[in-house]
Amino acid sequence: MTDQDKILAEVTQSEYKYGFFSDIETDIIDIGLNEDVVRTIWEKKKEPDFMLEFRLDAFRKWQKMKMPDWAYLKVPPIDFQSISYYAAPKKKPQYESLDEVDPELLETFNKLGIPLEEQKHLAGVAVDAVIDSVSVKTTFKEVLAEQGIIFCSFSDALQEHPDLVRKYLGQSVPVADNFFAALNSAVFSDGSFCYIPEGVKCPMELSTYFRINSANTGQFERTLIVADNDSYVSYLEGCTAPMRDENQLHAAVVEIIALDRAEVKYSTVQNWYPGDKNGKGGIYNFVTKRGVCRGVSSKISWTQVETGSAITWKYPSCILLGDNSVGEFNSVAVTNNHQQADTGSKMIHIGKNTKSTIISKGISAGKSDNSYRGLVKVLPGATNSRNFSQCDSLLLNDTCGAHTFPYIEVGNKSSIVEHEATTSKIGEDQIFYCNQRGIDTEKAIGMIVNGYAKEVLNKLPMEFAVEAQKLLQISLEGSVG
């Protein structure tokens, strides 16, 4: 082992910094899944009738579906009957001030470095905190309400705006879209809902911090964002999870709908527990994220920084239905130790003159596998459409893997689709150059990797970009060889 390898090995083995577990009282239903469980969830949440139909329809379809096996992932068998499908904090408190908030919860946020206290004052950021599937705290609601913006937990939306939810739910991601989306549709317990009315530019970044907390509770969040004509919103999703031994399943669904000339920016920093250095434990993350640019000249952009989870299966996509609509996908995916990621994007061009861009930066370390999988499909009617895809992979050693699976289907002659891909290994010369200037290897790797991912990081809102940079550094602590 060379000195550098030793340093790398040492840092790689630094434990997950956000690994802790808070002990908030939760109300969990028995494990297992059947129609009764689906009904129980619906009852417990006192949802409108249409939701029961929605859930049961999804459940029945799910029962006939199989887990997808086409991804470049080794997924251990998951026993869907050994999971509890509902967990909620026992009492749903109404907080007037922070003094009333469960100190355990505050402590949790403190450990994450995002105390609610600060969040409230954080310029322009409203926080809808999701703990174990149910919203516990919503802030800035009033400010937003003045503009007619709705930003609340999914449960609240179902109580207060059932018609809006009914109109748009399942429009981007149909209940039977895929195995995990169907499961989510059947059992999701909560999430966020956001509606930006016509002509309104949301004055602040809307932000949600997800957190997985109870043992053995699958997480099934649902997010629905609707941007009406000529509106704009930037939405942030960030998460981190406690250290845990058993594997935890996560299957979220995010749906976005952009109407005429509306723009939605969706940014994610994902930092779930990736398992220990031997590949034990960690979150299984099977996410369906899709946006429909339904209106003319609408725009949806996905920006993600993925550093966590033992397994990531995730393809934020855009359906470019409206003429002149624009889709973007910007991604940094880091895998270390035994992590596996199969992630990428789908851009479906249906409207005329539609444009899409995919920028994917994969960073692999340890014994991990990092795959980019992308589909660019231009339908015959989507004349004069364009896509540009750039997929870069950076390897930090010889034991990790990077793979690229681009699928391109172009259905007309006036459209142009370009795909570029590179794979490179982190330069020992670059690290030595930094060392010679007094910068240790760990910091050097952090710097080099952040430089490599800069194009994507620059797309993140400021406060998120800073967090993301730190995260990249933390998750790669020592990984060259």
One-letter amino acid of 342? D
12 or 189, CB closer to other proteins?
Answer: 12
Residue 390, strand partner residues: 359, 420
116 or 426, CB closer to other proteins?
Answer: 426
DSSP assignment of 399-450 = S-EEEEEEEEEE-SSS-EEEEEEEEEE--HHHHHHHHHTT--HHHHHHHHHH
202 or 402, CB closer to other proteins?
Answer: 402
350 or 391, CB closer to other proteins?
Answer: 391
Least gap, CB of 453 to other proteins (angstroms):
7
Least gap, CB of 426 to other proteins (angstroms):
10
Least gap, CB of 441 to other proteins (angstroms):
8
Least gap, CB of 8 to other proteins (angstroms):
12
Contact in structure between 306 and 314 (CB atoms under 8 Å): yes
Least gap, CB of 172 to other proteins (angstroms):
33
Whole-number Å distance between alpha carbons of 145 and 150? 6
Whole-number Å distance between alpha carbons of 358 and 374? 9
384 or 423, CB closer to other proteins?
Answer: 423
One-letter amino acid of 400? C
206 or 449, CB closer to other proteins?
Answer: 449
Whole-number Å distance between alpha carbons of 154 and 48? 12
Least gap, CB of 2 to other proteins (angstroms):
6
Least gap, CB of 437 to other proteins (angstroms):
4
Least gap, CB of 384 to other proteins (angstroms):
33
Least gap, CB of 422 to other proteins (angstroms):
12
Question: Residue 263: CB partners within 8 Å, gap ≥ 6?
Answer: 227, 231, 232, 233, 298, 299, 300
Contact in structure between 286 and 254 (CB atoms under 8 Å): no
Question: Residue 465: CB partners within 8 Å, gap ≥ 6?
Answer: 457, 458
| Residues at the contact surface with other proteins, assessed by CB under 8 A | 2-4, 427-430, 432-441, 443, 447-448, 450-455
Q: Please classify residue 31 by burial: count the beta carbons closer than 10 Å to its beta carbon, then call 0-12 exposed, 13-18 middle and 19+ buried.
A: middle
Least gap, CB of 358 to other proteins (angstroms):
19
Phi, psi angle pair for 151, to nearest 5°: -140, 105
Angle at 95 between CA 91 and CA 97, to 5 degrees: 145
381 or 427, CB closer to other proteins?
Answer: 427
Q: How does DSSP classify residue 31?
A: B
Whole-number Å distance between alpha carbons of 238 and 464? 9
Least gap, CB of 440 to other proteins (angstroms):
5
Whole-number Å distance between alpha carbons of 348 and 227? 20
317 or 450, CB closer to other proteins?
Answer: 450
4 or 147, CB closer to other proteins?
Answer: 4
21 or 433, CB closer to other proteins?
Answer: 433
61 three-class SS: helix
**Chain-centre distance for alpha carbon 318:** 15
Cα-based distances in Å from 240 to 109, 260, 378, 425: 10, 35, 36, 28
Contact in structure between 356 and 376 (CB atoms under 8 Å): yes
Residue 320, strand partner residues: 293, 349
349 or 459, CB closer to other proteins?
Answer: 459
